[in-house]
């Protein structure tokens, strides 16, 4: 199976797809698809990479991933529970080339603009959850009506963008496989020392060529990406395991230098690790 681009299997007579994932871990290969994806995380948590940005997903999150945005869900396998996600897949042309350009539907335009970089729903989440559970049991017509309701709410709710930069060209199969291998290797080995020479070898490129290649497609250096992945893991440890010292969190996240850990943490989170942990207590 070609990982990039990734085809969503769809019956010919269906304009959009409702999919239930009830698995040990979500599909964990970097992929992209033409369909816009709206997902409700019923159970599970882990790392979500969208475009150039590392995010953390958890139970009750509602996520929108736009057309052809490369993304990957990396389920946290330390959680022994099952990963459960409800998703809708559709394109802007699913109901006709100009359907969403109708004057009646112009108020849905913010949804499609926000979806270009992906976004996470930050308000009215109970309304989304109720609609998703309705869709699971609904007829095809009622699913369509519920989808329009979801789009209307998503056009007006508070939200947080999932990515700041999207490469404006679709990945070829070769590019997709290369980036998939880089992301997969990084997510599986970030706790260890990863040199530029080692990751360039994974990409089957010279070090200089790889650095230019990665920067062009993510708008950041590989070291920035690696540090952000490590910092997201550190944030999770700081909040979920209060018995770990700051230095133990740093070490388990792939930082072997405390001053570098503190410096990188402050750059990305605008506070030091101790302040981050205390902030959680005050919340």
Which pLDDT value is given to residue 234?
Answer: 94
Mean pLDDT of 160-165: 88
- Whether 1 shows a pLDDT value over 60: the answer reads no
DSSP string, the chain: ---SS-PPP--TT-SSEEEEEEESS---S-B--SSEEEEEEEE--EEEEETTEEEEE-TT-EEEE-TT--EEEEE-TTS-SPEEEEEEEE-TTTT-TTGGGSGGGGGGHHHHHHHTT-EEE-S-HHHHHHHHHHHHH--HHHHHHHHHHHHHHHHHS-EEES-S---SSPPPHHHHHHHHHHHHHHHHHTTS---HHHHHHHTTS-HHHHHHHHHHHHSS-HHHHHHHHHHHHHHHHHHH-TTS-HHHHHHHTT---HHHHHHHHHHHHSS-HHHHHHHHHH-
Which pLDDT value is given to residue 3?
Answer: 40
- Whether 223 shows a pLDDT value over 60: the answer reads yes
- Whether 215 shows a pLDDT value over 50: the answer reads yes
Tens-digit pLDDT profile for residues 2-38:
345 555 555 556 788 999 999 988 988 888 888 999 9
Which pLDDT value is given to residue 12?
Answer: 56
Domain 190-282 class? mainly alpha
- Whether 233 shows a pLDDT value over 60: the answer reads yes
Tens-digit pLDDT profile for residues 81-133:
789 999 999 999 999 999 999 999 999 999 999 999 999 999 999 999 999 99
What is the band of 144 on the pLDDT scale with cuts at 50, 70, 90? very high
What is the rounded average pLDDT for all residues in the chain?
89
Domains of the chain, by residue range, sit at: 17-161, 190-282
What is the band of 203 on the pLDDT scale with cuts at 50, 70, 90? very high
The matching CATH number, chosen from 2.60.120.380, 1.10.10.10, 2.60.120.280, 3.40.50.720, for 17-161 is: 2.60.120.280
Q: What is the pTM of this model?
A: 0.85
Better pLDDT: 72 or 176: 72
Tens-digit pLDDT profile for residues 242-274:
889 999 999 999 998 999 999 999 998 899 999
């Amino acid at each position: 199976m070609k990982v990039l681009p990734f085809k969503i299997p769809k019956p010919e007579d269906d304009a959009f797809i409702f999919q239930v994932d009830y698995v040990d871990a979500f599909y964990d290969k970097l992929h992209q698809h033409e369909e816009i994806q709206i997902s409700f995380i019923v159970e599970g948590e882990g790392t979500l990479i969208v475009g150039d940005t590392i995010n953390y997903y958890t139970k009750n999150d509602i996520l929108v991933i736009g057309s052809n945005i490369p993304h990957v869900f990396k389920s946290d396998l330390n959680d022994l529970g099952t990963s459960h996600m409800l998703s809708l897949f559709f394109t802007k042309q699913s109901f006709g080339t100009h359907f969403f350009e109708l004057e009646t539907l112009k108020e849905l335009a913010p949804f499609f603009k926000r979806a270009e970089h992906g976004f996470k729903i930050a308000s009215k989440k109970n309304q989304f959850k109720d609609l998703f559970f309705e869709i699971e049991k609904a007829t095809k017509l009622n699913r369509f009506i519920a989808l329009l309701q979801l789009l209307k709410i998503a056009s007006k709710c508070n939200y947080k963008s999932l990515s700041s930069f999207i490469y404006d060209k679709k990945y070829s199969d070769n590019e997709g496989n290369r980036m998939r291998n880089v992301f997969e290797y990084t997510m599986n080995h970030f706790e260890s020392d990863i040199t530029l020479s080692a990751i360039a070898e994974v990409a089957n490129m010279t070090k200089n060529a790889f650095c230019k290649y990665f920067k062009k497609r993510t708008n950041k250096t590989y070291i920035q990406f690696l540090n952000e992945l490590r910092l997201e893991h550190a944030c999770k440890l700081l909040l979920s395991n209060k018995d770990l010292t700051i230095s133990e969190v740093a070490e388990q996240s792939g930082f072997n230098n405390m001053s570098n850990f503190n410096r990188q943490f402050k750059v990305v989170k605008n506070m030091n690790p101790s302040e981050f942990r205390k902030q959680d207590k005050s919340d």
